Amino acid sequence: MTNSSYSDYFPILIQAGVALGFVLAVLWVTHFLGPRLKSKVKNSNWECGIESDGNARFPVSIRYFMAAILFVLFDVEVIFFYPYAVNFKELELEGLYAVILFVAFFLTGFFYVLKKGALEWEK
């Protein structure tokens, strides 16, 4: 199976319809079921029983952001491997050498990031 046409993707829409229908129906139904009680204290956030203080819109540690940025970077590189892997057996040695070079670039970047301490969580 090498060629794909748009009609192959059509069943995905059907599946999406079934899934979306279920999700919306359940959210709609539960909106009307069950009791509704409101009070100022009850409607505030629950933070371990102690009175909640301020809100949760504050800056978080830069490390999470680093992990996210590095993920985007490396994931793009990983995606480049996919077309290669599919054609691996046709490309033979030429492709293999090219991908070894590419892995070398990947690892260079990877070790640079490690050396710079971008992924050190204890410090």
Partner 1 sequence: MILEKLILATIIFGISLFIAMYATYLERKVAAWLQDRVGPDRAGPYGLLQPLADGAKMFLKEDFIPTNADKWLFIMGPGIAMFTALMTSAIIPWGTDLVLFGRTIALQVADFNIGILYIMGVLSIGVYGIMIGGWASNNKYSLFGAIRASSQMISYELAMGITVITIVMMTGSLSLRDITNAQHGMNWNVFYQPLAFIVFLICSLAELNRAPFDMAECESELIGGYHTEYGSMKLGFYLFAEYISMFISSAIISILFFGGYNFPGMDAFSGNVLAILGVAALFMKIVFFIFVIMWIRWTLPRFRYDQLMHLGWKSLIPISLINMLITGLVIAFKNGWFNS
**Interface ranges with partner 1 (CB under 8 A):** 1-4, 8-12, 14-16, 18-20, 22-24, 26-27, 29-31, 33-37, 40, 43-48, 52, 55-57, 60, 64, 67-68, 71, 74-75, 78-79, 81-82, 85-89, 92-93, 96, 99-100, 103, 106-107, 110, 114, 119, 121-122
SS (H, E, C) the chain: CCCCCHHHHHHHHHHHHHHHHHHHHHHHHHHHCCCCCCCCCCCCCCECCECCCCCCCCCCCHHHHHHHHHHHHHHHHHHHHHHHHHCHHHHHHHHHHHHHHHHHHHHHHHHHHHHCCCCCCCC
What is the smallest separation between the CB atom of 34 and partner 1, expressed in angstroms?
Answer: 5
What is the smallest separation between the CB atom of 112 and partner 1, expressed in angstroms?
Answer: 13
